[in-house]
Amino acid sequence: MNVLCFSLALFGTSLLAGFLGAMTGLGGGVVIVPVLCLLFKVDLHYALGASLISVIATSSGAAAAYVREGFSNIRIGMFLEVTTTLGALLGAYLTAKVSGNWIGVIFGLVLLYSAWTSLHRSDDRPKRHHPDALAMRLNLRGSYPVGGGREEYVAEHVPAAFGIMFGAGTLSGLLGIGSGAVKVLAMDQAMKLPFKVSTTTSNFMIGVTAAASAGIYLNHGYILPALSMPVVLGVLAGSLMGARTLAHVKTRTIRMAFVVVIVAMGIEMIFNGVTGRL
């Protein structure tokens, strides 16, 4: 395969990854890394570096549209980013210390976990709960478009979500992904935010988290411009398409297709990691 065909194949794959990442809030990295390793035979560490840059592109492409449409909650996102960024720095530091095979196994487990959480999302409309005192004090609340009006919500269990976000940041830095599954879990299940708010705020956050660890990856030489450029362009275009689509369609069918793909990739990554092929 020559350079042009390789770049076009990367662009097409990244386009789909960005679309799915924006639609589900998981980030395109969960697709990009296994595809680069298993399909294009790219070294795992360089795949992680390219994925990290693509995560920033995903967030940049989708976040602006989500904020404009009134879905993302910037206040909640930036509040949670305090601990997520610290975790991302720790994860990026551990990347050079952990072998590629172990990273592959961990990545595969994260993929399977992402599939499980994608199948167990709550409905768009949250159940009514008692107001959380800490969330009210910090003004962690908002509203989002529903039909012809807006639905209000208030975050819950803030300390628990704050702790979960540290783990999400560590996974992001270690695996070169946005760790959107863990972020959505914290906001959707712990904080009881509506699904679309959790998804869109996750897309806003993953770029900030990835940027925190990108410098460390660059310092280790894991970011190759020739590899990252087609990936970033494809993911950016796909994320813009996904952001425009999410507000108008139900994502159940796309989520099911996404689950099938990442389960297959997760099993393959674990197998290759255990057998020492990464």
In this predicted structure, the answer to whether residue 78 has a pLDDT above a threshold of 80 is yes
What does the pLDDT look like over 204-263, one tens digit per residue? 888 787 887 888 888 888 899 889 999 989 888 887 787 777 667 665 666 676 677 778
Residue 181 near residue 26, CB atoms below 8 Å: yes
What pLDDT band is residue 12 in, cutting at 50, 70 and 90?
A: very high
Most confident residue range from 85-89, 99-103, 261-265:
85-89
Residues 53-57, mean pLDDT to the nearest whole number: 80
Structure tokens at 47: 């795949």
d(CA 164, CA 72): 19
- The per-residue pLDDT of the chain, averaged, comes to 81
Residue 22 near residue 180, CB atoms below 8 Å: no
Domains of the chain by residue range: 3-274
Question: Could you tell me whether strands 141-146 and 149-154 are parallel, antiparallel, or unpaired per DSSP bridges?
Answer: antiparallel
CB crowding 242-273: b at 16 or more within 10 Å, else e: bbeebeeeebeebbeebbebbbebbebbbebb
What does the pLDDT look like over 146-176, one tens digit per residue? 877 888 999 988 998 888 899 888 877 877 6
What does the pLDDT look like over 174-194, one tens digit per residue? 776 666 767 877 888 788 888
Q: Does this model's pTM top 0.85?
A: no
In this predicted structure, the answer to whether residue 11 has a pLDDT above a threshold of 90 is yes
d(CA 248, CA 242): 10
Residues 2-6, mean pLDDT to the nearest whole number: 86
In this predicted structure, the answer to whether residue 2 has a pLDDT above a threshold of 90 is no
pLDDT score at 247: 64
Please calculate the CA angle 7-10-16 and round it to the nearest 5 degrees: 145
Most confident residue range from 73-82, 144-153, 201-210, 269-278:
73-82
Residue 224 near residue 48, CB atoms below 8 Å: no
pLDDT score at 27: 63
Which residue type sits at 2? N
Which residue has tokens 């255990």? 274
In this predicted structure, the answer to whether residue 127 has a pLDDT above a threshold of 70 is no
Most confident residue range from 1-10, 21-30, 112-121:
1-10
In this predicted structure, the answer to whether residue 131 has a pLDDT above a threshold of 70 is no
